[in-house]
Amino acid sequence: MASSSNSSLKIFLLILVLGGAGGGYYYFQQARTSAQPPNYNTTTIALGSVRQLVTATGQLDPLLNIDVGSQISGLVKTIYVDFNSVVKKGAKLAEIDPSTYKQKLRQAEANLASTEAGNRLQRLNTERARELRDKQLVSQQDYDQALAQLQQSEAQLLTSKAAMENARVDLERCTISSPIDGIVIAKQTEEGKTVAASLNAPVLFTIANDLAKMQISAAVAEADIGAVEAGQSVNFTVDAFPNRSFSGQVVQVRNSPKTSSNVVTYETIINVDNADLKLRPGMTANVSIIVASRENTLRLPNSALRVRLADATVAASAPAPVTSGPIAAAPSQATGAGRERSSREGGASAGSNSRRGGSGFLGEDATPEQRQKAREIITELGIDFRNGPPSAEQREQIRKLLIERGVITETVPGQPVFTTRTVYRLPRGDKSASPEAVAIKVGITDGTFSEVGSGLAVGDIVITGLSASSPSGPTSPVSNPFSGGGRRF
């Protein structure tokens, strides 16, 4: 009995010792882990190019596209061209059976000859009546009647001449000719087919003037159209050549809006050089309009703008230097990523921008404090975006209040537009040192990199995130020996 009690006591003491050792190891590991500095992902600030883009989709079309039809009805007797046939102006495309129209012309010529004979007779009769009237051998009434009959005869002569000309024109229209130099891109008739042109002219052929010069009709969302202007360069791709980039130039931004599913777009015309004839009419073009470009400029990854560190881990830093020239916060400058996303989704309305905290006025990279102030202003004005996007007057009110309360500053025409952001810099590139919070001026962005106006220099090391192997990161917690490893699924 005593031996059994001693065994139980020994087992209890062994369990107690093992538990204490495990707990001590766990808390030792926790203390060692918390003492280790975080493992940061960093990047070195360098010079490079930044291009801000507006993306859209459109369709390739010839510069001049003409539908050739028939103004007369009849049986298609002969077709002289086919798809892709190159034609000159005035060249024969097709011929409608002219038999009926030749007969009508002969009948009109016969009617004209009869009318001319009657007119000559009436002219002689009128001349005789004039001579008799001079000799007082006929009354004035008879002479007036002869003059009236002559005038009627001349009117009938004009009618007959017009009918003959009309018959001749109809006969000439039996031959369908090309109105321009170009290439046949569509043929909608065949030999033996009857053409009926009673109410409108049926289309027989479609001719493009020159496929070496084409244009894109791109639908640009209203959120992006303010940055698009004639003369801007364009890069685009087509599904037929996914690995090749083509170039073009904006030549016109049309003021006529198009609304589809409550999304407003504006047609933007882009001229394209197609000297190698690889592009074909009707292809869908994925367009990137270069609205702003900076070459050999200071830039940093956008991931650095999204980093937020606890105040306890950040050292105080000197204020950022101010660059020369006016610097303003962008009231309506969307980032390249935001532009690309809005264009792919068909564009974002002003109301949807404002529902996201005023990003339509502040930009997609606005700070939470700026967004909160914008929401307060929108609430103060009593604007409810569930009733639709704000009017032009409401948007102007919001913009003025944002400027008055220092959320944004008014832009200066012709000057670059910058926003103030915070990034974290490692002094001397030492990852064990406390990072510094640095206020910088950020300009245009291409969705991956942003232009830096001030606050950083070439060679500075900034934090872009926490490493997956960081002891303080969520991916490497210290296991608790008493937890059983957590729940498993």
CATH assignment of the domain containing 194: 2.40.50.100
Same domain flag for 216 and 273: yes
> In whole angstroms, what is the distance from residue 447 CA to residue 331 CA?
18
Q: Is residue 270 part of a domain?
A: yes
Is there a single domain that holds both residue 280 and residue 254?
A: yes
| 92 and 180, same domain (yes or no) | yes
The answer as to whether 488 is a domain residue is: no
178 shares a domain with 93: yes
- pTM (global) more than 0.75: no
| Residues 6 or more apart whose Cβ sits within 8 Å of residue 163 | 108, 111, 112
Angle at 382 between CA 377 and CA 383, to 5 degrees: 85
Helix or strand (DSSP H, E) at 27 = helix 2-35
Domain count along the chain: 3
104 and 74 share a domain?
Answer: no
Mean pLDDT of the chain: 80
Same domain, 213 and 138: no
Q: Are residues 89 and 105 in the same domain?
A: no
Beta bridge partners of 42: 463
Main-chain phi, psi angles of 442, to 5 degrees? -110, 130
* pLDDT for residue 481 is more than 80: no
Average pLDDT over residues 289-314: 86
- Whichever domain contains 147, its CATH number is 1.10.287.470
pLDDT digit string (tens) for 432-449? 778 889 999 898 888 899
Query: Lowest-confidence range among 57-61, 80-84, 164-168, 198-202?
Result: 198-202
Domain extent for 144 = 100-170
For residues 185 and 219, state if they share a domain. Answer: no
Give the end of a domain, one of 118, 151, 170. 170
| 340-357 burial: b if 16+ Cβ within 10 Å, else e | bebbeebbbbbbbbbbbb
Residue 485 domain flag: no
pLDDT, tens digit (0-9, with 9 covering 90-100), for 11-29: 767 777 777 777 766 666 6
- Classify residue 381: in a domain, yes or no: no
Residue 252 covered by a domain? yes
Are 249 and 238 part of one and the same domain? Answer: yes
Tens digit of pLDDT for each residue in 467-477?
755 554 443 44
381 — pLDDT class (breaks 50, 70, 90)? confident
Domain boundary among 243, 258, 292: 292
Residue 489 burial (10 A CB sphere; 0-12, 13-18, 19+): exposed
pLDDT above 70: residue 323:
no
pLDDT at 326: 33
